[in-house]
Structure 1
Amino acid sequence: MDLICKKFYITEQTNVVQQTVNDIYSKVLKINEDLKTSACCTKETIPENVREILKDIHPEVLSKYYGCGSPVPLALKGKTVLDLGSGSGRDCFILSKLVGPNGKVIGVDMTDEQLEVANSYISYHMDRFGYDKPNVIFKKGYIEDLQSTGIEDESIDIVISNCVLNLSTDKGKVFSEIFRVLKPGGELYFSDVFSGSRIPESLVKDPILFGECLSGAMYVEDFRRLLTSLGYPEYRTLSSRKIDLKNSGFKQKIGMIDFHSITIRIFKIPLEDRCENYGQIAIYKGNLDESPDSFVLDDNHVFKTNEPVPVCGNTSAILQKTRYAEYFNVVGDPSVHYGLFKCSSESKRDCCSLMKYKYIIN
């Protein structure tokens, strides 16, 4: 197949998949109970501050929520947050409360029916939150082409997404766009479905499996390779749970592949591809209102207030070059190198590599 024909084929296939997904989420699914697997159903613990906000979210918005996790990080006040695949607007309205009246939330979705629900409840939620004017806006568009929605380079503090990236047929474009719009030091914080092996092309083309967030799932190692090719060799895992394929038909078709819903964070800062030891110590000040006793960076780093913790160079950089800098004291600098950073005496791998392989061995 020559380059022009191949390009046309990929574009045509993308259009077909996008239309299929659009139909499923606008015409087939009416409420979240219509889903046939747990791939898009939240089971992880929801933070207390988010649970309180959920009490103010309109029931129709909640019923049309199809997320697979709780991608809401800390320290959002006054920030600009972008939600990719915002759907009925549930996460955007949660974020609206968390960023406050001086912050801004942008939701992007391609489905008219979902956007209609989200837009119809903006005033409702602004009244509930006591805001004089809306701090949330919903845009119609594709997550592979955020430029067409008017989102400028380096204009976003945090990008979140909730069980949506797997629905894209061009993950490379999606992540390129994410890093384009993120400010230096910005964060991508998302929950999505990942697979333990590559999915056969015949199953990728299955519209029902695709719409259920299964056959478009990224193989976790290909995800790592994609990030590395874009200049981001490290990501952090916050949580992971195995997805239960309750539907017998799905088990027969795709049950040979393991699927997990994983919550991940990636920072737009220069990092090394391994955790190196520079003799640095990090101390959490406890000055985050939402988390005064401890701070969870990932599933391998929990900082108790005022407790000195040895950290690798990458963790040190994250705690000094992002919005979390004001909440930490970091002692030491990378002027003297002591070799690879070891998380424990039993481990020969560095802690960041361990996090990448944790999904495979669970």
Structure 2
Amino acid sequence: MQARRVFLQQLALGLGLSSMADYSFAADPHTSDVPVDRPLRVALLGLGGYANIVAKGMQECKMAKITGLISGTPSKIDTWKKKYDIPDKNTYSYENIEDIRNNSEIDLVYVITPNSLHHKFVLEVAKTGKHIICEKPLADNAQQAREMIEACKKAGVRLYVGYRLHFEPHTQEVIRMREAGEFGKIMHVNNYMGFTIGDPTQWRLKKALAGGGAMMDVGVYSLNAARYCTGEEPIWVTAQESKTDPVKFKEVDETITFQLGFPSGIIANCGCTYNFNHSERLHLMGSKGWAEMVPAFGYGPIKGKTHLGPINQPSVNHQAYQMDGIAACILQNKPDPNVTGEEGLKDMIVVDAVYESIRKGGQKIMINS
């Protein structure tokens, strides 16, 4: 298997939207011969739908293991501790999170709650001295993201965001080709992500829990991909919202299209939706070649091709690769991949601008740090 490439985030908080061009690569922990004394010991905070996917994926991890559980629902704790053999002393409620500071069997907490609870729980966990992974989007807005980064910095803990695709081999190959100049000058990017949302009573349709709708949930994929496809940071955005079901989507956005302008003159057309399926794609066009991935952002298998032919990379368990990649950073002192809190902040700055453009009738919004 080709060594898995992990991107180094070298920009410090406060530099805002400067270049993404400088990366370095770390060894794939799935092929590394570097031994570790023990796995990264992870507590899951929030035991909902995606936590189940993470937990299942982590059964394939070589360097990370679930050792703790945190939930506001006691019945979930009972079920999960039996399923994953977690002792009572490593289980916590939302009310006694501070007690994990004294638990030497937990190194890191993975926050997998509804979006609008990310800020609250990251601040609480940071005080315990445990490292943190927060599921995307990092926060409801850029200001919250800044506060989370600062709290972790003050506590001396690492903050990561759950951008699993930064560990996914097809995605990494496209970025490698772009950085190597194999596409020539990037001319245009077109990304879309969405699906038909189901249960109208779910938390994703409640602004108080979700922070927003399709843009917050799946629009971040289109946005983040536009950044890693160009290697640049956007300097302006225009955005439009359409809503075909004002009852179901009373509180949150249903479908948003947005355009990102980059310093080199590249324009990326992006979109996201909660109203239709079969819209998951990435398309990059350059002066010498192109890349297309369909599907591009889901849990897999990711499929793609370029002007040179199929992207021949392995299909992997995204959650296992993500957790082993982060474990390698913490346990083996590998360079931090491009999934730090600062990376999440950069996307939140743009998300804020998208919503501002919509409020102002599609007006072009200049993006500042």
Same-fold call, TM cutoff 0.5? no
